[in-house]
Chains A and B, each alone.
Chain A
Amino acid sequence: MSMNRRSVVKAVAAGGALMGLSVLMPRAAMAAWTKAAFEASEQSAAIKALYGEDSATESPEVILDAPDIAENGAVVPVSVSTTLPNVESMSIFIENNPSPLAVQFMIPEGTEADVSTRVRMGKTTNVTAVVKADGVLHRATKEVKVTIGGCGG
């Protein structure tokens, strides 16, 4: 297949828009508790509101990719993937943001658990990915540095 990168990205984006519908539907059904999670001002509370518990354990099978230093704190690329089977959802938390929960992805059965998004952060913070698979919570955390920049030699 001779698809160049640009058309791949565009195809993925189009697919993503369709997938968005399936993401939205369960969220609408569970609107009450996701609202509390997205509005929580503290990370542990947000995780509890989202999953009913904050019992996630560090897992090397959760691959969190984010830069060591953000080039632009307003749009920091973050990717989460996992090899864990039966993934139900993947969520990303920005600890020092006013509302730490940035996004939750519902992963329909048979979907590859590999998501990317961009998040905003005002200052240096831990970024945490929580993956729910087979009913169990797993996590990975990485610090992303936000600097005022300048003064490079």
Chain B
Amino acid sequence: MSMTRREFARMMGLAGMAGMLPLKGNAAGRQPSDLYEVPSFGNVRLLHMTDCHAQLLPIYFREPNVNLGIAGARGQAPHLVGDKLLQHFGIQPGTIESHAFTYLDFNAAAEQYGKVGGFAHLKTLVDRLRDSFGSDKTLLLDGGDTWQGSGTSYKTRGMDMVKACNLLGVDIMTGHWEFTYNQNEILSNIQAFDGEFLAQNVFITEDALFTSDTDYLFDDFSGRVFKPYSIRELGGVRIAVIGQAFPRTKIANPSRFIPDWSFDIHDSYLQELVDQVRNEEKVDAVVVLSHNGMDVDLAMASRVSGVDVILGGHTHDGMPSPTVVKNSGGQTLVFNAGSNGKFVGTLDLDIRNGRIQDFRYRLIPVFSELLPADAEMAALIDDIRAPYQSWLNEELAVASELMFRRGNFNGTFDQVICDALREVGDAQISLSPGFRWGTSVLEGQMINMERVLDQTCLTYPETYVREMKGSELKLIMEDVADNLFNPEPYLQSGGDMVRVGGFDYVCEPNRDIGQRISEMTLDNGERIEADKTYKVTGWATVGAQSEGPAIWDVVAEYLRDRKEARVDKLNTPVLKGVKGNSGLADYGNDVIG
């Protein structure tokens, strides 16, 4: 059950709920600065950021117009877009909040309200939220995907973000893309991090126990690589924070970087830890800082009891209020705090007599123009960027329309990447991963190298061009579709559908694996045949390192030539069986049935 404001008020027996987004009618008369006047409530404040993907400076980020909910997730948060999302959460259209939470009228609204995020602005907001509540009663939790996603994090192997997070004052974090550096680099990043890095679900492999130096293990007996939980005393109560790293890291990302570690969801281990902290550590509240993704968090909340709060990330769902999940131990509140430094979740808890009595939550959008930059953080960011300025600032091409990625299928920026791959690699077909990171560029703005890096900057950027049979292509498409649309959340891997160039297809998300993808047809109208061979190009291979140039160099070469980034044909599929889905609006192709 996702909770609308009205349902929540009814449930808690309250006439209204302070600290949430305003009801219709209130919004129009408010000054934007009110966004950052957050009344204090209770005795503990948890600040939550997640999935900033190393965006140190303010950026634009368009929320999706396609975020389909399949089976039990249909029509439920987080699978709501545009007007459906506004209605569900009681947000007035045409306001600064509706711009923050939806794609609606994005280009014009972005021009009006300006960029979002940026660590100097984030720092100002975090400090304000800490100071107003009391620093000694406040924790800043980071859900991960913080140390990857920009040119500077690539060049410094994540260390730029460690420094920025130290200055920001992150108390506790968990991870996912943090694991895309080499094991020893990850360990030294964590060593340099002033906060605690928690993960209950990362274990040493049995092979590594015999063959590697494993002195760095948190716990030799359980095999846990990292500390699983931390107990914090604040506001006169004891809180347990348990870390849950992305459970599919070795499947979704190259396992070769982290050969000695093994990940999974591990419900039963989590349950043991919850029982342990409740019975032995005598905590008053249990919080899981999770990088599962929201669908997995919702499922996990129904299976594990005794967790009060899940602060989630990974799926980049900016949810204005939590979903309440009932389980055998009572209920769990599941939050998700969006991405790219665009939001700070502010959860105030009234904890007394060993339990959470009540709470207030706001997912606060970070509008850079409304928050002055913190001088110290701005100086650090300048230092970090100085050696790379000429690389980052190279002007490549003007965006002839809004460029973005986020959504279940091809965004405009994906199409440019796919077109670049095909042209530079002289291939019929291109494939580009459906990452959920990647910032937006407004119509008419210059795309410089930094914006290309926002879309592409990972530690396995090599491209490939190779022959592939139609049957193999179909297998890949089906496999990725199943990772996105499998009705069982534990069998999803996060990420959106693979982006394609040079061919169209029909996608039927409600079918089983093997039956979702049909009518694959080249741009010239030729049907793709199982036994025929095609020239395919792509990047970000997880199995083994590819041979070709880095993807950002391929895209830059293409854009330099063109001087204009334009989408002539968007290879987004015809959709079948999802008409009326609340996670679909303003779709760029046909929707049948």
**Which residues of A are interface residues toward B (Cβ below 8 A)?**
4-6, 8-10, 67-72, 124, 145, 147-153
A6-B220, A71-B263, A147-B479 known; A152-B209 Cβ under 8 A: no
B455 close to chain A: CB less than 8 A: no
Residue numbers in A under 8 Å from B475 (CB-CB): 148
Q: List the 8 shortest-distance A-B pairs measured between CB atoms, nearest first.
A: A152-B252, A153-B495, A153-B436, A151-B433, A4-B220, A150-B542, A71-B250, A149-B251
A151-B252, A153-B315 known; A69-B493 Cβ under 8 A: yes
B480 lies within 8 A of A9 (CB): no
A5 lies within 8 A of B222 (CB): yes
Contact pick for B248, options A4, A5, A69, A148, CB 8 Å = A69
- Tell me how far the C-beta of B437 lies from the nearest C-beta in chain A, rounded to whole angstroms: 7
A152-B494, A153-B495 known; A10-B210 Cβ under 8 A: yes
- Tell me how far the C-beta of A112 lies from the nearest C-beta in chain B, rounded to whole angstroms: 19
- Tell me how far the C-beta of B20 lies from the nearest C-beta in chain A, rounded to whole angstroms: 28
- Tell me how far the C-beta of B352 lies from the nearest C-beta in chain A, rounded to whole angstroms: 39
Q: For the complex, what is the distance from the CA of A151 to the CA of B214, rounded to whole Å?
A: 30
Q: For the complex, what is the distance from the CA of A124 to the CA of B488, rounded to whole Å?
A: 15
Residue numbers in B under 8 Å from A124 (CB-CB): 513
User: Knowing that A5-B222, A149-B251, A153-B437 are A-B contacts, what are 17 other residue pairs whose CB atoms are under 8 Å apart, sorted by A's residue number?
Assistant: A5-B209, A5-B221, A6-B209, A6-B210, A10-B210, A68-B264, A68-B265, A69-B248, A69-B251, A124-B513, A147-B482, A151-B495, A152-B251, A152-B253, A153-B435, A153-B495, A153-B496
Residue numbers in B under 8 Å from A4 (CB-CB): 220-221
Q: For the complex, what is the distance from the CA of A54 to the CA of B436, rounded to whole Å?
A: 48
Residue numbers in B under 8 Å from A145 (CB-CB): 491
**Which residues of B are interface residues toward A (Cβ below 8 A)?**
176, 206, 209-210, 214, 219-223, 246, 248-253, 255, 262-265, 314-316, 433-437, 475-476, 479-480, 482-483, 490-491, 493-496, 498, 513, 540-543
- Listed by A's residue number, 16 A-B pairs whose Cβ atoms lie within 8 Å are A4-B221, A5-B219, A5-B223, A67-B264, A68-B491, A71-B251, A124-B513, A149-B542, A150-B540, A151-B435, A151-B483, A152-B252, A152-B433, A152-B495, A153-B435, A153-B495
The winner among A4, A9, A149 for most chain B CB atoms within 10 A is A149
Residue numbers in B under 8 Å from A8 (CB-CB): 221
Q: For the complex, what is the distance from the CA of A149 to the CA of B314, rounded to whole Å?
A: 16
Residue numbers in A under 8 Å from B209 (CB-CB): 5-6, 9
Q: For the complex, what is the distance from the CA of A118 to the CA of B314, rounded to whole Å?
A: 30
Nearest CB to that of B316 among chain A residues?
A: A153
A153 lies within 8 A of B314 (CB): yes
The winner among A4, A68, A124, A153 for most chain B CB atoms within 10 A is A153
The winner among B314, B437, B483 for most chain A CB atoms within 10 A is B483
- Tell me how far the C-beta of B85 lies from the nearest C-beta in chain A, rounded to whole angstroms: 19
Q: For the complex, what is the distance from the CA of A149 to the CA of B493, rounded to whole Å?
A: 8
Residue numbers in A under 8 Å from B262 (CB-CB): 71
- Tell me how far the C-beta of A11 lies from the nearest C-beta in chain B, rounded to whole angstroms: 12
Q: For the complex, what is the distance from the CA of A89 to the CA of B549, rounded to whole Å?
A: 54
The winner among B248, B436, B513 for most chain A CB atoms within 10 A is B248
Q: For the complex, what is the distance from the CA of A5 to the CA of B246, rounded to whole Å?
A: 25
B433 lies within 8 A of A150 (CB): yes
A69-B251, A71-B255 known; A152-B493 Cβ under 8 A: yes
B434 lies within 8 A of A153 (CB): yes
Nearest CB to that of B495 among chain A residues?
A: A153
Nearest CB to that of A152 among chain B residues?
A: B252
- Tell me how far the C-beta of B152 lies from the nearest C-beta in chain A, rounded to whole angstroms: 21
Residue numbers in B under 8 Å from A5 (CB-CB): 209, 219-223
Contact pick for B250, options A6, A72, A148, CB 8 Å = A72
Nearest CB to that of B513 among chain A residues?
A: A124
Q: For the complex, what is the distance from the CA of A23 to the CA of B117, rounded to whole Å?
A: 62
Q: For the complex, what is the distance from the CA of A147 to the CA of B176, rounded to whole Å?
A: 19
- Tell me how far the C-beta of A80 lies from the nearest C-beta in chain B, rounded to whole angstroms: 16
Residue numbers in B under 8 Å from A67 (CB-CB): 264
- Tell me how far the C-beta of B474 lies from the nearest C-beta in chain A, rounded to whole angstroms: 12
Residue numbers in A under 8 Å from B434 (CB-CB): 151, 153
Residue numbers in B under 8 Å from A152 (CB-CB): 176, 246, 248-249, 251-253, 433, 435, 493-495
Residue numbers in B under 8 Å from A153 (CB-CB): 252, 314-316, 434-437, 494-496
The winner among A8, A68, A124, A150 for most chain B CB atoms within 10 A is A150
- Tell me how far the C-beta of A58 lies from the nearest C-beta in chain B, rounded to whole angstroms: 20
B483 lies within 8 A of A147 (CB): yes
Residue numbers in A under 8 Å from B214 (CB-CB): 6
Residue numbers in A under 8 Å from B206 (CB-CB): 9
- Tell me how far the C-beta of B197 lies from the nearest C-beta in chain A, rounded to whole angstroms: 20
Residue numbers in A under 8 Å from B223 (CB-CB): 5
Q: For the complex, what is the distance from the CA of A124 to the CA of B513, rounded to whole Å?
A: 11
- Tell me how far the C-beta of B293 lies from the nearest C-beta in chain A, rounded to whole angstroms: 8
Residue numbers in B under 8 Å from A71 (CB-CB): 250-251, 255, 262-264
Q: For the complex, what is the distance from the CA of A145 to the CA of B487, rounded to whole Å?
A: 14
Residue numbers in B under 8 Å from A150 (CB-CB): 252, 433, 480, 540-543
Nearest CB to that of B460 among chain A residues?
A: A150
Residue numbers in A under 8 Å from B493 (CB-CB): 69, 147, 149, 151-152
A4-B221, A5-B223 known; A149-B543 Cβ under 8 A: yes
